Amino acid sequence: MNSRLTENRRFEKIDFRENALLAGSYEECQFINCNFNGVDLSGMAFVSCTFDGCDASLVKLKNTSLQEVKFLNCKLLGVDFSDCRKFLLELAFENCMIKLSLFSRMKMKNMHFKNCNLQEADFSEADLTGTFFDNCDLSQTTFFHTNLEQANFTSAFNYSINPETNRLKKARFSLHGVVGLLDTYGIEIE
């Protein structure tokens, strides 16, 4: 990893497809309304950074370090978060479009997704213990061999979770959301 360190900077309305972000580490930086669409951020480090209103769809994150990183109002379509460095990984998402993104085999305990569109995301074999899906759309999201113990789905919607292929001990669901646990059985509830 490049040793160049950038601290406490604010990047606003920059199209990083045209003006490449310099390789290195970024600490306590803000990226506001920037375009990272398809940009390669592999091997870089972001610590205590905030991305607000950014388009980071199809961004490449091979061996990228994301520690205490917040995504607010971002578009993150088709992002493979499972390529990130796992060490000290800590993410939070609020008001984000995270469709078709991959989180497979990741340890993401106690994560918080708030008001996010996670349609067709893949959480296969991930550890989501204690994760809160607060008012999130989980339509066609994949949960397979996923640890969802103590996860909170009380305000989530459109999910379909097979209790036989996922760990659900002490997970929380609303009464109307229980239907999403029965889809697999092909029964009709009226």
3-state secondary structure 34-60: CECCCCECCCCEEECCEEECCECCCCE
Same domain (yes/no): 66, 111 = no
Residue-level pLDDT at 1:
44
Contact 10, 29 (CB under 8 A): yes
Question: For position 175, what pLDDT does the model report?
Answer: 85
Same domain, 60 and 119: no
Q: Are residues 85 and 127 in the same domain?
A: no
73 and 30 part of one domain: yes
Q: For the beta carbon of residue 190, count every other beta carbon within 10 angstroms.
A: 2
- 110, amino acid identity: N
Q: Do 109 and 90 belong together in one domain?
A: no
Q: What is the domain count for the chain? A: 2
Per-residue confidence (pLDDT) for residue 184, from 0 to 100: 73
User: What number of residues does the chain have?
Assistant: 190
Distance CA 126, CA 15 (A): 32
Check whether residue 63 and residue 108 sit in a common domain: no
Which residue range is the domain that position 42 belongs to? 1-98
Verify that 180 and 115 share a domain, yes or no: yes
pLDDT at 189: 66
Contact 73, 94 (CB under 8 A): yes
- Among the candidates 46, 69, 98, a domain finishes at 98
How far is 35 from 126, CA to CA, in rounded Å? 28
The low-confidence residues of the chain, meaning pLDDT below 70, are: 1-3, 187, 189
**b/e map of 67-85 (b: 16 or more CB within 10 Å)?**
bbbbbbbbbbbebbbbebb
For residues 76 and 92, membership in a common domain is answered with yes
CA gyration radius, the chain = 17
Distance (Å, whole) CA 151 – CA 112: 10
Tell whether 113 and 84 lie within a shared domain: no
Q: Which of 120, 129, 83, 85 is nearest to 101 (CA)?
A: 120
Q: Which of 77, 98, 119 represents a domain boundary (last residue)?
A: 98
> Which residue, chain included where needed, has tokens 């990226």?
31
Decide which of 34, 68, 98 is a domain's last residue: 98
Domain co-membership, 179 together with 128: yes
Same-domain status, 69 and 134: no
Same structural domain for residues 59 and 27?
A: yes
Q: Which residues of 120-159 are buried (b: 16+ CB within 10 A; e: fewer)?
A: bbbbbebbbbbbbbbebbbeebbbeebbbbbbbbeebeeb
CA–CA distance, 38 with 59 (Å, rounded to integer): 4
Which CATH number is 189's domain given? 2.160.20.80
